[in-house]
Chain A
Amino acid sequence: MPSLKDLKNRISSVQSTRKITSAMKMVAASKLRRAQEQAEAGRPYAERMGRMLASLAANVQDSGNGPKLMTGTGADQVHLLIIISSDRGLCGAFNGSIVRESRRQILRLQSEGKTVKLLTVGRKARDQLRREFGSLIVETYEDVGRRKLSFADADMVAQKVLSLFDAGEFDVCSVIFNKFKSAISQIVTVQQLIPFAVEAQAEEVASDELKPVYEFEPDEEQILAELLPRNLSIQVYRALLESAASEQGARMTAMDNATRNAGDMINKLTITYNRTRQAYITKELIEIISGAEAV
């Protein structure tokens, strides 16, 4: 039987934990709103970029000699995986599910005899993958968008990817990130970035409205050569935004659960505390009475 003092300490410690988790939940909620707004604000650019790219791609594909970023290097021997996780923990299964999916992808590719290289964003993925696949990691980024995620951060990552690609370091590049669905549900998504899969989008555009025939200035290939690297930055930016929103969502849910559990625990401990207190009082009374009777 724990003493009253122990119980009291226990209760007050759980109470302060609850204060912390509920504050963290509040912070995550407001950060989530901001992240969602940012993701919303970035959408028009990506949409228009996609539309432009689709109409360009349709033209260039006919000529059959698109740039490498779109057509690929012709091989798919070396795969680069960009893994986006968070820098901080206490966000439920957020990082765990990313790492699990990454490990699955890596093992699948390796079993097919492919070479895998990793580029991690965020401390958690690096820490968890380092032990098993440390030799595969080519680059890591930390503290990306610590205060506010900017396009420059995404651009930095994209430039690194591009320089690796130009150096012939890999053939296929995919990004693994948590796609934001709602505050309680994030979907681990694998998206291929290089070669860029245009077809799906091209069909969408073809079906909606009458596709105008564009003039190009300068010619298609030159525009495409500028547009594709930019598109890569945009895709990375989007993935980072989605991941940031997911992280806050996951943290909010995790902290909400923690706050509720702390509440339950306090109730239980308080009941035990009261029972123990009564038991002590009864015991003391019995001692006094039996002492008096003995006299």
Chain B
Amino acid sequence: MADKVEFELVSPEKLLTSQPVDMVVVPGSEGDFGVLAGHSPMISTVRPGVIDVYEGDRIVDRVFVAGGFAEVTETRCTVLAEEAVPVAEIDRAKVEQAIRDLGEDLEDAKADDERARVEAKLAIARAKLDAAGASVTAH
């Protein structure tokens, strides 16, 4: 396949990646979707999960994102991530600790909106742990 799609990963603090790739798989909020060159234009929300970057048939890069937005055009795939960490750099122990802390926070939380906020954070941390776990078994 000759055509490549321009993949951009941006966080509020900086432009993380900008490179032509063969395919990216983005965890959309309504299911994962793969983007090849010539994909129809689309805007989607992104759930916490892992973005896989493909060169040919191989995964060359795996990046965890904590939610955000994806904009897809025929030649480009832009992901606006709230937080992005390469899967290889996730520290399992730290995430597990964070999950424990959040669990305690959840028990302390009284107001509904506070509870919802902690739950959202917890979901992100769990997804992060899943991502780290998947990468350990994959290698």
Residues of A within 8 A of B (CB): 38, 41-42, 44-45, 48-49, 51-52, 55-56, 150-151, 154, 163, 212-218, 222-223, 226-227, 230, 233-234, 237
Interface residues contributed by chain B, number (CB under 8 Å): 24
* B74 contact set on A, CB distance < 8 A: 212
CA of A238 to CA of B93 in the docked complex: distance in angstroms? 34
> Given A52-B71, A212-B73, does the pair A223, B42 have CB atoms closer than 8 Å?
no
> Given A52-B71, A212-B73, A227-B69, does the pair A218, B12 have CB atoms closer than 8 Å?
no
A217 touching B42 by the CB < 8 A rule? yes
Chain B minimum-CB-distance residue to A47: B10
Chain B minimum-CB-distance residue to A44: B15
> Given A51-B71, A217-B30, does the pair A234, B12 have CB atoms closer than 8 Å?
yes
B14 touching A42 by the CB < 8 A rule? yes
A48 touching B71 by the CB < 8 A rule? yes
* B73 contact set on A, CB distance < 8 A: 212
CA of A68 to CA of B30 in the docked complex: distance in angstroms? 25
* A48 contact set on B, CB distance < 8 A: 8, 10, 71, 78, 80
Question: Which of B30, B40, B80, B113 contacts A49, CB < 8 Å?
Answer: B80
* B15 contact set on A, CB distance < 8 A: 41, 44-45
A216 touching B11 by the CB < 8 A rule? no
Cross-chain pairs A/B with CB under 8 angstroms, 29 sampled: A41-B13, A41-B14, A42-B14, A44-B8, A44-B14, A45-B11, A45-B13, A48-B8, A48-B71, A48-B78, A49-B80, A151-B11, A151-B12, A151-B13, A163-B113, A212-B41, A212-B74, A213-B41, A214-B71, A215-B42, A215-B43, A216-B44, A217-B28, A217-B42, A217-B45, A218-B29, A218-B44, A227-B69, A233-B12
* A56 contact set on B, CB distance < 8 A: 43
* B69 contact set on A, CB distance < 8 A: 49, 52, 223, 226-227, 230
Chain B minimum-CB-distance residue to A154: B12
CA of A41 to CA of B10 in the docked complex: distance in angstroms? 10
* B10 contact set on A, CB distance < 8 A: 44-45, 48
Query: In the complex, given contacts A42-B14, A45-B12, A217-B30, what are 16 additional A-B residue pairs having Cβ atoms less than 8 angstroms apart?
Result: A41-B14, A42-B12, A44-B10, A45-B10, A45-B11, A48-B71, A48-B78, A151-B11, A163-B113, A214-B43, A217-B28, A217-B45, A218-B30, A218-B45, A223-B43, A226-B69
Chain A minimum-CB-distance residue to B33: A217
* A222 contact set on B, CB distance < 8 A: 45
- 4 closest A-B pairs by CB: A41-B14, A212-B41, A217-B44, A151-B12
How far in angstroms is the closest Cβ of chain A from B102? 16
CA of A107 to CA of B13 in the docked complex: distance in angstroms? 36
CA of A42 to CA of B12 in the docked complex: distance in angstroms? 6
CA of A218 to CA of B43 in the docked complex: distance in angstroms? 9
* A230 contact set on B, CB distance < 8 A: 69, 82
B40 touching A215 by the CB < 8 A rule? yes
How far in angstroms is the closest Cβ of chain B from A137? 24
How far in angstroms is the closest Cβ of chain B from A240? 11
Chain A minimum-CB-distance residue to B44: A217
* B12 contact set on A, CB distance < 8 A: 42, 45, 151, 154, 233-234, 237
Chain B minimum-CB-distance residue to A217: B44
* A38 contact set on B, CB distance < 8 A: 13
CA of A237 to CA of B14 in the docked complex: distance in angstroms? 12
Which of A49, A56, A213, A233 has the most C-beta atoms of chain B within 10 angstroms of its own C-beta? Answer: A49
CA of A177 to CA of B10 in the docked complex: distance in angstroms? 25
B78 touching A150 by the CB < 8 A rule? no
Chain A minimum-CB-distance residue to B82: A230
* A154 contact set on B, CB distance < 8 A: 12
How far in angstroms is the closest Cβ of chain A from B32? 12
